[in-house]
Every structure is written in C-alpha cells, then in structure tokens.
Structure 1
Amino acid sequence: MRPFDGIRIVDLTQILAGPYCTYQLGLLGAEVIKIELPGQGDWVRVTGIDPELAKAGMGTHFLSQNAGKKSVTVNMKDERGCEIVKKLIETADVFVENFRPGAAKRLGLSYEDVCEIKPDIIYCSLSAYGQDGPISHRKGYDHVLQGTTGIMSLTGTPETGPIKAGLAFIDYATGLNGAFAVSSALFERAKTGKGQRIDVAMLDSTLLMMSNIVTEHVTTGYVPELMGNEPQSRSPTAGLFDAKDRPILIAANSDVQFRAFMGALGLEDLVEDPRFSNHLARLDNKPELRRIVNEALKAKTGEEWEELLESVDVPAGVIRNIEEVMAENGQARARGISQEMVLPEHNRQIGVPTVGFKVNGDVVAADSPPPELGSDTEAVLAEIGYTDAQISELRHAGVI
C-alpha cells in the first residue's frame, strides 16, 4: 500500500522537470497517464548517450523519470484528441502541464476549462518563470535558469568567470517542488473536498535553494561574488585541498573542528599560534594557514584522510566520479538509490532512480519499466468508453 494508490494523474509534461514531478508521485502509488504526440512522443525519448536506445525511442534521458507510467499517444491539435484528454480528465485527480503560460488555454485546457470538467481537480503548471510577473511568458531550460537566477554569479572564480554546474539540478529541484505541492494539495482536498491551482516556477525553486543568500541580500543588500570552491562559511580550513593523490573537500569550520583537524595533521602547535588561535585571526592569515594545511595533507592519500578525519569528527570527502559513487559495494548501492530492471522489448538491463528516501527501512521503487511510445493507448481509451471501432478510426486518422 502506497500513499497515492488510487490517484490518477493526467500528465501533459515533457523533457525533465514536469516528468520528474509526476515520476515522484508515480513512485508513491499514483497512476500516471503520460500524454504524448503520436509518432514522436516526449522529445527526450531520442536523447542520451546510448544511440541504440535513442533510436528506439527509449533514450537514457527518458528512462530517468518515466518508469511506471502509462503512455497514451494523442494529437491535441485535433479536436478529437482534445476530447480524449478531456474524457481522461473526468476520471483524474491531478492534471499536470508544463506548456509556456497561455498555451494550455489555447488548447481549451486552462484551469477554468479543466475545473468545468472536474471541479475538485488538482491542476499543476510548471514553467520557467511562473504564471504571472513581467517575464512569465519566457521559455527556459535548466542551463539558462542557472544564469538568470544568479546561480552562475556564484560559481567559478575570477580567473574562470561564471561556470555552469554540470547537472540539471534546477529541473530536478522544480520537479521535487512540484511533487511536494501536488502532495500538499491532495492532502488539503482530503480535508476540504476542494481542488487547487498550483503554479510552480523554476525561478522560485532555484531561489529557494539559495534561501540564505536571498535572505542576506534582502536584509542587508549584500551581493556575493564568485566563490569558486570556497564554502559559504569562508573558513580557512574548509573547502578544497590537495591530498597526496587527489583533491579532498574538508569542513573544519568551528573552533572544535579546527583543533581536531590540526591534531589529525600533526599541527597541534598551530592551535595556540596567535595567527590562528581564533576564527578572526585565521581569516586574517588565511593564505598562510591554507599553505601549511595543503603541505601537511600531501602526506597521505585522500581516502586515508577521509578515514582519519572521520575518526576525529571532521567532515571530509574526496571528489569521486559517478562510477566510483555507484560502485557495487558503495554507499549509494546500499541505499538502493537506483533500481535495476529490464526493458522487455529491447532485452536491455537499465537502472532508474528510486524515490530518494526509505520508508520503514524499505526502498520505494517503480513497479514497471518506462513505457514504449503509445503502448497503453488502446487499453486506456477502452477504459474511458471508446469502442474498438472508434479506436481504429482514431488511429487511422492520426489522432492517436
């Protein structure tokens, strides 16, 4: 039994943020009906680094957020296609779209339109900048928002200039934010019987991940500059250092951690050195302290320092690549963060994300692989009242 068993979601989203939102809800039990364009589907079906899977319409970027869903192909530019979607809405609890603001209205699927069909619907829109405001009409992708939200004004160094993060974390954060919002609205509906209009923006989701920076700016006017590998604490004994074999990140921020760190390095004398005896003194003499620390760290490998510093309660970790992180005997595998399954039509073993937290010690995972394009169209249409003859006619006309 999962919390959203019996909940039906009509999902008109594509690419990443929207599908990741509905994926989270699906992992928690909701039935997600993914509406896709006949013959094409979600654009990310043909993306990713595996050409064989991309050619088959099961690209790795599609696999990562669509397991457990049903795929129904509908051409919504045809009135008969829109009618199919509206019939599905009659049976749904949640409607999710990530069109540019205004596009759903032109399809006859605005919040007001959908409420006429299903008054208690949870209607969720995900967009770049939200449904209101002076630039709400703009489209946006993760790498664009990394610039427009201020993220890239913090990443990089004066020498490199702004640097984009190497992952689409804004998309994922927006998807999680959307799933949280829908979950909250479903909880509210269970108490009141009323639906909700939810407006989730990539802009808002990003700024929430920068809450301390936004608060500092609004409160004091402070505008941070490029931080490189510096932690926000600015502590001289926190950040990126060089061990014997590889870089290592260390967080010795407090006085207690500083003393423990110096003891582990064999530099106990520095604790009483007036240049480093308190936080402000260490800030004044930061270059010299970092030089001494980097020299001492070259005595051991990164993994040796990890273990030694862990023993004295100083957080530390080397930079690992994804192969190392996902090693069979590693922490990520032990946590069950990736679920292995087989794509039956392609005889390929794949790994897809689980929900990201455990429940009573158990991993929450998808119950079926990502769907082939349109694989559930006939079954879903039959369920909402279409006959075999009608389905055949719609397919012949290119509506499904």
Structure 2
Amino acid sequence: MAVLAALHYRERTGKGQYIELSQTENIMRAMSWIWPYQQITGKVAMPTGNRDISICPADTFRCADDTFVAIAAAAPEEFKGLCTAMDKPELAEDPRFKDLLTRLQEDNAIAILKIIADWARTKKPEELEALAEKYGFAASHLYSFKDVVEDTHFRERGFMTNVDDPLLGPYLEYEFPVMMSKSPPKVKWSARAVGFDNDYIMKYHLGKSEDEIKELYRSGTLGKWADVRGHRPPPDWDGKAGLIMARD
C-alpha cells in the first residue's frame, strides 16, 4: 500500500520519497482491542492465555486424544447451540449465563469454561467440529505442524511445494505466499550458510585471485559458516553441490 501511495505521489509531483516500515510498529496495529482498551480504561491489559476476554465462551480445550480444539459462542443462538450440543440445554437459561455480559463476569466465565472443558475432554476434535457445524457454534481443531503438512486443502492450494535442492536434496517447503496466475513464483533452492558463495563473488565479480581470496580468509576479512548444525553445509557435502555456478 505504501509503495502504491508513493507511486501515486510521484505521478502527481514528480518526486520520489523514502518508505520506512517497522515490523514492530506494524504488528501493534494488529493487536485486536488491546490498544483502545488500555487508552479508554487506563488499565494495563494482562496476558490471558488462549482465552478471549471479550467473548465468553471463547477458549481452547483439551480433547480426548490430547489434541486441542478452539470453541467460541458469542451470539445467543450460538450459545444455545453449544448448550444443546453438550446435552445441557438448561444452561442457556441459567442466570449466570443468560447473556454475553453476564457470562463475562469472572466467576461465571470460570464456571462455563469448566463445564465446556469437561465435555470437550470426552470428544475428539473432529466430533466437536461436526457438532459445531450441526448446532451453529464455532469449533476448530488446533493443528500441529504434522496436521498442516498433511492437510489436503493446503496441498491443493499449493501452500507447500517439493523442492529438489542441489545441496540438501529433496524436501518439503512452504511455497511463496503470494500466488500469481500468470507468473507464479517458485522456490528453487534453500537458503545457504553464511559465506557459502564467497569464493564465487570474490573471483567472478571482484576479480580476486585464489591467493588473494586465501589471504582474505586468513586475515579474517572473509568468513564462512559456523561449525554449528544448521549453520553449515551437510556433513557429506562434496564441496561443489549447491554452489551458485550450479544454480544459474
């Protein structure tokens, strides 16, 4: 958006400008209601775990197979549906839980979340998702990394791709997040260890001789990867595979 705005400004004025984007400051704008809550009430918002303190019930719950599910029911019909799914329709008429504001009172919130937690512990996540769809409240299985990798929707969306990396061999990688219909980007190889292509750059771009390159290493001007797993090439690396000459 900033780039488009800057281009528009250039078209109108003929002048360019510097764009600065702070990751930390940007994420502050995605912090839900925390900023206005603190400004309006003067209270410091404290950590609440997975619970949403603006909706009740809205939390994560352990299931029968020790996985987790997120369940939420804000609107009256959603809460009634949840109570019916739990075979406890009378809870919808309980004075402690009669509406959202009443359920948000701390003692009442703790009580209803405990009831839901005990119920969810007897079900598998797919059972809870099916009940949510049937009775009209929200429930979603919390994915492990294994679940993400095996999810057919993500696969069909092209969220992941198989990469045959010349250095590391074949592996599964996240695809580039931007999808383009005419010129889709593709992952060609993994990131390399620090200094992996030093010699190529020194020799072919800067015209350094082999002796000059060796001296740069000896003096500490140039450096390569640390001897730490994940920061260096694989132990069986042949010294050639994956170098930039083989990638172009």
TM-score by length of 1: 0.45
1:195 partner letter: G
1:238 partner letter: A
User: Who is 1:342 aligned against?
Assistant: 164
User: Who is 1:245 aligned against?
Assistant: 65
User: Who is 1:282 aligned against?
Assistant: 103
Tell me, yes or no, if structure 1 residue 320 matches structure 2 residue 138.
Answer: no
Contact 1:241 1:294 in 2 (8 A): yes
Residue 210 of structure 1 aligns to a residue whose secondary structure is: coil
Deviation at 1:193, TM superposition (A): 4.8
Q: Measure, in 1, the Cα distance between the counterparts of 2:158 and 2:45.
A: 37
Q: Out of 26, 38, 47, which is 1:226 matched to?
A: 47
Q: Measure, in 2, the Cα distance between the counterparts of 1:208 and 1:317.
A: 25
Q: Out of 182, 189, 200, which is 1:369 matched to?
A: 189
When Rg is computed on C-alpha atoms for both structures, the one with the higher figure is 2
Q: Measure, in 2, the Cα distance between the counterparts of 1:234 and 1:393.
A: 67
Q: Measure, in 2, the Cα distance between the counterparts of 1:316 and 1:189.
A: 48
CA deviations on 1:211-261 (whole Å, 9 max, x unpaired) are 5311222333231112112114241x2102233223321111221211121
Q: Out of 132, 146, 152, which is 1:309 matched to?
A: 132
Deviation at 1:355, TM superposition (A): 3.4
Could you say which structure has the greater relative contact order, defined with CA pairs below 8 angstroms and 6 or more residues apart? 1
Distance change in 2, residues 1:367/1:186 (3 Å): farther
User: Who is 1:261 aligned against?
Assistant: 82
CA deviations on 1:138-164 (whole Å, 9 max, x unpaired) are xxxxxxxxxxxxxxxxxxxxxxxxxxx
CA deviations on 1:149-203 (whole Å, 9 max, x unpaired) are xxxxxxxxxxxxxxxxxxxxxxxxxxxxxxx645654565566553321222233
1:208 partner letter: R
Deviation at 1:322, TM superposition (A): 0.4
Contact 2:163 2:187 in 1 (8 A): no
Tell me, yes or no, if structure 1 residue 213 matches structure 2 residue 34.
Answer: yes
Distance change in 2, residues 1:224/1:312 (3 Å): same
Q: Measure, in 1, the Cα distance between the counterparts of 2:63 and 2:210.
A: 65
User: Who is 2:245 aligned against?
Assistant: none
User: Who is 2:155 aligned against?
Assistant: 333
Residue 199 of structure 1 aligns to a residue whose secondary structure is: coil
Q: Measure, in 2, the Cα distance between the counterparts of 1:392 and 1:378.
A: 5
Larger fraction in strand: 1
Contact 2:37 2:45 in 1 (8 A): no
Q: Measure, in 2, the Cα distance between the counterparts of 1:363 and 1:260.
A: 46
Matched positions, count: 209
Superposed, which structure 2 residues align to 1:167-182 within 5 Å? 181-182=2-3
1:396 partner letter: E
Superposed, which structure 2 residues align to 1:1-400 within 5 Å? 181-182=2-3, 185=6, 188-189=9-10, 193-210=14-31, 212-235=33-56, 237-246=57-66, 247-284=68-105, 285-327=108-150, 329-344=151-166, 346=167, 348-359=169-180, 364-366=184-186, 368-370=188-190, 373-374=196-197, 377=201, 381=205, 391-392=207-208, 396=212, 398=216
Query: Which blocks of at least 5 consecutive residues in structure 1 are unaligned?
Result: 1-179, 382-389
Distance change in 2, residues 1:267/1:211 (3 Å): closer
Q: What value does the CA root-mean-square deviation take over the aligned residues?
A: 3.4
Query: Which blocks of at least 5 consecutive residues in structure 2 are unaligned?
Result: 223-248
Deviation at 1:321, TM superposition (A): 1.5
Contact 2:96 2:103 in 1 (8 A): yes
Q: Measure, in 2, the Cα distance between the counterparts of 1:270 and 1:357.
A: 46
Distance change in 2, residues 1:335/1:396 (3 Å): same
TM-score by length of 2: 0.68
